Structure 1
Amino acid sequence: MTVRNLSAGYGRRPVLQRVTAHIPRARTTVVVGPNGSGKSTLLGALAGVVPPTSGAVARQALDAGRTAFVVQRSEASDVLPITVRETVAMGRWARRGPWRRLTRRDRAVVESCMARLGILDLASRQLGALSGGQRQRALVAQGLAQEADLLLLDEPAAGLDLEAQRRIREVLDEQRESGVTVVHTTHDLTEAMRADHCLLLGQGRLLAAGPPDSVLTRDALERAWGMPGIDV
């Protein structure tokens, strides 16, 4: 996947400014940068939910397939009357449509995704009654249930306990090993160093791209955050 001279924003508020980058297939790409640098906007543009004001996102023939976009848990309503199982089952709508009865295989995929994230015992609980970590795992399970070729996640492990982080990390590693292209945002530089590829954003611009150990240098991070003293 290639992003070419991509600019995007919300209404009259520009966020991304002429970003050009390559996202390697079947690898994990991490997007790093301070708040307001354009990380979420870039994910939205890759998912097709944030239209570019100029430039484009191009997927090669081998990359053309389904895209799953996992939002942050704070974007899931507390009052939505929906169970964990129903939340994960929504991931099958991309294949079945929202009003069609799920097949036996659909139900098996939903159960498997909940088990992989360790939330099978929460299947009948209301989404709004869950802790932050449990809710995030339910949203990641919904993304997995789409069986997509491109998996986009916005801060999937931010603020979670160590067990939830471990579960999500293991699942994302499994997705990459199965040939899925994974792209996620993070503020955790230790987590970012585990990725195959890294994009560093600052003030809506791409500051560096490549292997994390060559991108996340002290000088580059100081440029991104605009202050000295950032530790890698």
Structure 2
Amino acid sequence: MTIMFTKHRPEVPRTGTDDQRVRITDLDAGYPGRPVLRQLTADIPALAMTALVGPNGSGKSTLLGVLAGVIRTTSGQVRYAPGRPPAFVPQRGAVGDALPLTARQTVEMGRWGERGLWRRLTRHDRAVVDSAMERLGVAGLAARQLGELSGGQRQRVLIAQGLAQQSDLLLLDEPTTGLDPEARERITALLADLIADGTTVVQATHDLEAARSADTCLLLGDGRLIGQGPPEEVLTTTALSQVWQPA
């Protein structure tokens, strides 16, 4: 199994808006022979938490992949405000337990976009990795194998890997799924701190509690945008029942 946390750094057209980090217009995207997103238009506000919400197959992960530059659009536009290319943190399940990676090696992968796969890390790179691990409280786990870590520990290591990319746009796929309440609370607090320090965070989530604590939500259903705005306005009983229809 091969994992690439930063498959490539997309060339991103820029927009001059100060309050929107990303503007998505008439977006179609998916996979060969399988369209997923259809005519999606939405904004990602800067310096805020945006939750992508919806059932399996609604298009959350596809949209996250488009924003990360690992899935190409079929049509439409994705425009980014000035800033560094986005950092992408995949689901914990994308990292196999059998891979012979330590926590520190995983975080060091966040520097590949700057250094390339085969070049040695510089003193600056190592300092960035040290800082990210300290920030996420995982410096003491540096020599531990990923397969030895708890779910919460592994998730913090992966977020540290994203932080090591030094982007102001952090994309997370299901960062709290499968974690116990204490670990979820800790991850939520860490993300709030990152936003306060100037990072825009977008997370795809099934966790309605996490979504309701976000600043804004994009509710997706069958690849289309059902609602956009503050959680209390978007995640209504009527809207949720519309996208989570019983089989």
1:72 aligns with 2:91: yes
Q: How far did residue 223 of structure 1 move?
A: 0.8
Matched, 1:96 2:136: no
> Which residue of structure 2 aligns with residue 23 of structure 1?
44
**Is the partner of 1:143 in helix, strand or coil?**
helix
Instruction: Look up the equivalent residue of 1:65 and give its one-letter code.
Output: R
The normalised TM-score by structure 1 is 0.91
Normalised to the residue count of structure 2, the TM-score between the two structures is 0.86
**Post-superposition offset of 1:27:** 1.1
Amino acid of the structure 1 residue aligned with 2:66: A
Residues 176 and 207 in structure 2, CA contact (< 8 A), matched pair in contact too: no
Counterpart CA distance in 1 for 2:126 and 2:116 is 14
CA displacement 1:113-133 (0-9 Å, x = unmatched): 222323222111122332333
**Rounded Cα–Cα distance in structure 2 between residues aligned with 1:74 and 1:98:** 23
RMSD between superposed Cα atoms in Å: 1.5
Task: Give the letter aligned to residue 155 of structure 1.
Answer: E
* Cα shift at 1:58: 1.0
- Residue 74 of structure 2 corresponds to 53
Partner residue in 1 for 2:192:
173
Measure how far apart 1:107 and its partner are: 1.8
- Structure with the higher helix share, 1 or 2: 1
- Indicate conservation of the 8 Å contact 1:88/1:139, yes or no: yes
Report the Cα offset of residue 101 of structure 1: 2.6
Query: Which is worse superposed, 185-194 or 99-108?
Result: 99-108
The match for 1:105 is 124
The aligned runs of 1:189-228 (5 Å cut-off) are: 189-227=208-246
Within a 5 Å distance, the mapping from 1:140-179 to structure 2 comes to 140-179=159-198
**Matching of residue 131 in structure 1 with residue 150 in structure 2:** yes
User: How many residue pairs are counted as aligned between the two chains?
Assistant: 225
Q: Is the 8 A contact 1:137 1:164 kept in 2?
A: no
* CA distance, structure 1, for counterparts of residue 79 and residue 163 of structure 2: 23
> Moved runs in structure 1, 4+ residues, more than 4 A?
none
- Partner SS, residue 45 of structure 2: coil
Cα deviation, residue 176, structure 1: 1.0
Q: Deviations over 1:166-199 (max 9, x none)?
A: 3321221111112211100111112111111110
Query: How many angstroms does 1:103 deviate by?
Result: 2.7
Deviates more, 1:163-172 or 1:213-222: 163-172
